[in-house]
Chains A and B, each alone.
Chain A
Amino acid sequence: AQKITQTQPGMFVQEKEAVTLDCTYDTSDPSYGLFWYKQPSSGEMIFLIHQGSYDQQNATEGRYSLNFQKARKSANLVISASQLGDSAMYFCAARYGNNRLAFGKGNQVVVIP
Chain B
Amino acid sequence: DVKVTQSSRYLVKRTGEKVFLECVQDMDHENMFWYRQDPGLGLRLIYFSYDVKMKEKGDIPEGYSVSREKKERFSLILESASTNQTSMYLCASSHHRGLNTEAFFGQGTRLTVV
Contacts and interface: CB of A to CB of B under 8 A. Distances in A.
Interface of A: 1, 6, 31-33, 35, 37, 43-45, 47, 50, 52-53, 91, 93, 95-97, 99-106
A93 to B, nearest CB: 8
Contacts of A97: 99
Count chain B CB atoms within 10 A of each CB in A35, A43, A93, A97 and give the residue with the most: A43
A103 B108 contact: no
Contacts, number: 63
B42 A43 contact: no
Contacts of B50: 99
Interface in B75-114: 88, 90, 92, 94, 96, 98-105, 107-108
B48 interface: yes
A95 B95 CA distance: 12
A38 to B, nearest CB: 11
Interface string B46-72: 001010000010110000000000000
17 contacts: A32-B99, A33-B99, A35-B103, A43-B108, A44-B105, A44-B107, A45-B90, A47-B102, A47-B104, A52-B99, A93-B103, A95-B100, A99-B31, A99-B48, A100-B56, A101-B48, A102-B45
Contacts of B107: 43-44
A35 B102 contact: yes
Given A97-B99, A100-B56, A101-B94, 17 more contacts: A1-B59, A33-B101, A43-B108, A47-B102, A47-B103, A50-B100, A52-B99, A99-B31, A100-B45, A101-B33, A101-B45, A101-B92, A101-B103, A103-B35, A103-B42, A105-B40, A105-B42
